[in-house]
Structure 1
Amino acid sequence: MLFRVAQASRAALAAMAAWAVGNLLPGEMAQYAYAAALGAFVATGTTLVTIARAATQRAAGLVIGAAMGLLLLPLDVYGLLKIGVIAAVGVLVEGVRALGDGASMVPVAAVLVILFGGVDADGYAIGYVGQFSLGMLVGITINAVVMPPLHVDEARGRKNRAIGELADRLDELAAMLRGVWPPDREDWANWAPELEAWVVDVEDELGEARESRRFNIRTLWRRDRIADDEADGAALRSVVNRAINVIDALSGAAWETPVAVHVDGTDRDAVADAVAAAAAHLRAWAGREDVREVSDASLEAIDRLYARAVEHGEPESGVLAVVFSLRALRARVDRVAQRRA
């Protein structure tokens, strides 16, 4: 909410500043100051780089659209046909990746020139496009100097929440293992897509955080180690994959899907202990705590589980799949935690 309020405040300030500057321009240009305010308004975004990129693309789209309008205006054809040509070109330019957001400005500028250009179409096109571009420049400047958005804290918070939520899911698994087997609820066997979506969200947030630091004056006094958070994000993807392996193994033991495996009833408490220990390990990592103690506890729980699996000597044992996945999960968390330390 605070971010949205800050963004709205910058947009308001930019629009007012652009309007004021636009009215100072000489001659007939001043009468198009409203376009400067509109340009400043659209020059908003999540990061300074995305704002500047989108503004450049929109300026290019305006120029192309105005030029098309000027070319179509003197043609002695029905206005309906001109609108059709503009619509067709508007759809075609959407396929030009370099234009990006600017593609939507092409038909808008063309239609405005045809509808409102009148006898001074050249003056209208120059005035509108010039003022709109001026407004976007003012918007970029305001966003660059007035507390420009920096998304590191938001990305870090999303990453830590995802790790904590994964720990909660592992605790749920541990509780089910200690209860009636097979468990009454089956939803946990289909958690994989949701967990993978968390990873994508975290990676998107971290990418935006890195972008928000580029050319951002706030980085002069904020030395965020975004590289550490990105390393955590990469580790989270690996950890989630291992957690999904555990889920699949337990689902196979409960309902023989995706692959039928066996988990001896006497081993379920040991599996639950190992899974719960992994959850505690994840929470320590998310809380940026010293993970050595919980890592040792996780190792002990996994070793106890492995000893039971070896004692049974079952080649199709789901316990061995759980052991491998939890060992890999533990090792990945330890590596990234040690790097941060």
Structure 2
Amino acid sequence: MMGGKTPFAWAARAFRVPGEERRSLVQIAKATAAAVIAWIVATAVLRLPQPFLAPYAAVFLVQATVYRSLRGWAQQVGAVSVGVLLAAGAGQLIPSVTVALGLVIFVGLLIGSWRGFGDSGVWVGITGMLLISYGNATEPVLLADRLLETALGAAIGAVLNAVILPPLHGERLRAATSRLASAIADVLDRTAELVRGGEPTDGLDDRMEDVRSLVAEAEDAIGWTREGRYLNLRGRRESREEPLANLVSLWHPLAQLIDAVSEAARSEQPFRHPGEHARGVVGDLLEALAEAVRSGDPDKLDRCRELLGEIDHLLVTPTDEVTTSIGLGAMALPARRLVQRLRAD
């Protein structure tokens, strides 16, 4: 959670900046409060004996999203119920505690592997194991207590997570947008250098791999944001994911553009590589695209459209320099797609 930061630096950033550290701190505080409240209710109000499962369940139900908390509550209560029934059956039918323990663990983990239980599936075997080992499996009242305290703790954790500062992931979305825009713009600038100079620039392949990685991170951020907004009382205030999704859509035409430029630069056949003037126009277009991506300003695309028009003119009007260059056409198509997808936002 803290990565390479010291605990003091991490805590200072959590209080100073409304980012991931602060969200983690809020979730930790909520999990702690849920556990304490569950313990107080189970001991002082319901007077349940040894209600250790109540705070345990409460902590685990303060999830990263409200949806996961509510889904986890249903899964956990279902898993614990099956574990209680499994322990009760084994306690009544198998005299040996050792044999009953082994059977309950095996069958419980087997049943818990059903995907409907999700991450809570392990609770089937664990609940059965605890009840058998504590000698509660033959006492119906204690079995009911275990089920009640689990449902109580899980409910308190889920409700606190949904009502008190329900988690959102807007800062993750904004950070991913900034990083991906910067990486794409940098690749476009370096590609412009390659087009003009005709010589490969250092590190372009590595930077494309960086963009690929950032696209995967962006898709993950979009997924978290959408899930975080679902059933969330603060969901309407969440950041929009459309700008980031728009940047993600640039990946394929960008990769096609890099392939076309690299192939033209490596080719020994003159008709595949545009002449100096055409390369200058393509370079200007890529730099204009980089500026539009970096700034997020749709007005910057006016210059891109002008340059696309000039490229179209070069393609249909033979000159001494350009004779319907295959290389220029190969570069123009993905460049046009980049402009179109940026306009889609």
Assess same fold via TM > 0.5: yes
The one-letter amino acid of 1:301's match is: L
**Alignment match, 2:228:** 212
Task: Give me the whole-angstrom Cα distance separating, in 1, the residues matched to 2:257 and 2:206.
Answer: 12
Q: How many Å apart are 1:41 and its aligned residue?
A: 0.6
Q: Is the 8 A contact 1:152 1:206 kept in 2?
A: no
**Alignment match, 2:327:** 318
Q: How many Å apart are 1:23 and its aligned residue?
A: 1.1
Structure-to-structure mapping, 1:137-152, within 5 angstroms = 137-152=155-170
Task: Give me the whole-angstrom Cα distance separating, in 1, the residues matched to 2:315 and 2:279.
Answer: 11
Q: How many Å apart are 1:296 and its aligned residue?
A: 1.6
Partner of 2:62: helix, strand, or coil?
coil
Task: Give me the whole-angstrom Cα distance separating, in 1, the residues matched to 2:336 and 2:65.
Answer: 39
Cα distance, 1:18–1:91 mapped onto 2, change above 3 Å: closer
The one-letter amino acid of 2:282's match is: V
Give the number of aligned pairs. 318
**Alignment match, 1:114:** 132
The reply to whether residue 128 of structure 1 matches residue 138 of structure 2 is: no
Q: Is the 8 A contact 1:117 1:125 kept in 2?
A: no
**Alignment match, 1:203:** 219
The reply to whether residue 44 of structure 1 matches residue 50 of structure 2 is: no
Q: How many Å apart are 1:158 and its aligned residue?
A: 1.9
The reply to whether residue 251 of structure 1 matches residue 262 of structure 2 is: yes
Q: Is the 8 A contact 1:18 1:40 kept in 2?
A: yes
Select the residue among 266, 285, 290 that pairs with 1:279: 290
**Identical aligned pairs, as a percentage?**
26
**Alignment match, 2:308:** 302
Q: How many Å apart are 1:283 and its aligned residue?
A: 1.7
Partner of 2:260: helix, strand, or coil?
helix
**Alignment match, 2:193:** 175
Task: Give me the whole-angstrom Cα distance separating, in 2, the residues matched to 1:174 and 1:198.
Answer: 21
The one-letter amino acid of 1:302's match is: L
Q: Is the 8 A contact 1:14 1:142 kept in 2?
A: yes
Q: Is the 8 A contact 2:253 2:338 kept in 1?
A: yes
Task: Give me the whole-angstrom Cα distance separating, in 2, the residues matched to 1:92 and 1:115.
Answer: 19
Partner of 1:217: helix, strand, or coil?
coil
Task: Give me the whole-angstrom Cα distance separating, in 1, the residues matched to 2:145 and 2:164.
Answer: 28
The one-letter amino acid of 1:10's match is: K
Select the residue among 21, 38, 49 that pairs with 1:18: 38
Task: Give me the whole-angstrom Cα distance separating, in 1, the residues matched to 2:37 and 2:106.
Answer: 36
Task: Give me the whole-angstrom Cα distance separating, in 1, the residues matched to 2:76 and 2:145.
Answer: 16
Structure-to-structure mapping, 1:157-168, within 5 angstroms = 157-168=175-186
Q: How many Å apart are 1:306 and its aligned residue?
A: 4.2
**Alignment match, 1:9:** 29
Task: Give the gaps of 5 or more residues in structure 1.
Answer: 337-341
Structure-to-structure mapping, 1:327-338, within 5 angstroms = 327-336=336-345
Task: Give me the whole-angstrom Cα distance separating, in 1, the residues matched to 2:106 and 2:210.
Answer: 40
Residues 249-306 of structure 1: CA deviation (Å, up to 9, x unaligned): 12222446xxxx9323624433322211111111222xxx3x22x2121123333444
The one-letter amino acid of 2:337's match is: A
Structure-to-structure mapping, 1:85-124, within 5 angstroms = 85-118=103-136, 120-124=138-142
Task: Give the gaps of 5 or more residues in structure 2.
Answer: 1-20
Q: How many Å apart are 1:309 and its aligned residue?
A: 4.7
Task: Give me the whole-angstrom Cα distance separating, in 1, the residues matched to 2:22 and 2:324.
Answer: 57
Cα distance, 1:190–1:153 mapped onto 2, change above 3 Å: closer
RMSD: 2.8
Q: Is the 8 A contact 1:189 1:251 kept in 2?
A: no
Q: Is the 8 A contact 2:185 2:290 kept in 1?
A: yes
Task: Give me the whole-angstrom Cα distance separating, in 2, the residues matched to 1:85 and 1:188.
Answer: 58
Cα distance, 1:126–1:182 mapped onto 2, change above 3 Å: same
